[in-house]
A and B are shown apart, each in its own frame.
Chain A
Amino acid sequence: KNQVEQSPQSLIILEGKNCTLQCNYTVSPFSNLRWYKQDTGRGPVSLTIMTFSENTKSNGRYTATLDADTKQSSLHITASQLSDSASYICVVSEPGTYKYIFGTGTRLKVLA
């Protein structure tokens, strides 16, 4: 069972362009939704954390949105840079627990 689905699986964009990554989840109820960035060969690093009552959260050029009604989240990257090349992972957790459900990620490649 896949409770967190991400799309697209991979994406290639040119430096300076914007892009949006999608996350659909079926985890219910849920307490928070997180986006992580994972560089090749490294551990995931947190970008944003949103509780179910929040609908947007920004971290520099990264903006995450959440629609709890449709169980969808997106991560928008503005003015992409070569260093944005990485996998982006959506994570949902159940209320009152540290049990996190990870999506399989979107692999982003930014070209010069």
Chain B
Amino acid sequence: DAEITQSPRHKITETGRQVTLACHQTWNHNNMFWYRQDLGHGLRLIHYSYGVQDTNKGEVSDGYSVSRSNTEDLPLTLESAASSQTSVYFCASSESTSPNTGELFFGEGSRLTVL
């Protein structure tokens, strides 16, 4: 079955370290998204991509970067982790045919703790 997988599921790191969260989907979806989920906030968009070589900033992109070298993967990199980036991160993907009705599929999440 097609799916979207994230790794690692849990990670503890130290302030200042570089961290990369992986996201891999097998649906061949063009659109991929990274969100973070924190208590008291709805999911907030970090970065998104509409296809290979396309990346765009979301509402909370500072301190994060992404790259899209193929359709299946959108890794999220924290260049220098900060305690404020402790969160649960979700990757999602959708088809490109219609934003009005296109289903949005989420991964299981990656819980990141920055000490």
Contact = CB atoms under 8 A, between A and B. Distances in A.
Contacts of A104: 40-42
A89 B99 contact: no
28 contacts: A32-B100, A32-B101, A34-B104, A41-B108, A43-B92, A43-B107, A43-B109, A44-B43, A44-B90, A44-B106, A46-B103, A49-B101, A49-B103, A51-B101, A89-B42, A89-B43, A98-B31, A98-B94, A98-B99, A98-B102, A99-B45, A100-B43, A100-B45, A100-B104, A102-B35, A102-B44, A103-B42, A104-B42
A82 interface: no
A96 B90 CA distance: 23
Contacts of A49: 101, 103
Contacts of A89: 42-43
Contacts, number: 57
B100 A51 contact: yes
B42 A102 contact: yes
Contacts of A34: 104
B48 interface: yes
Contact of B99 (A41, A96, A103): A96
Interface residues of B, number: 25
A61 to B, nearest CB: 20
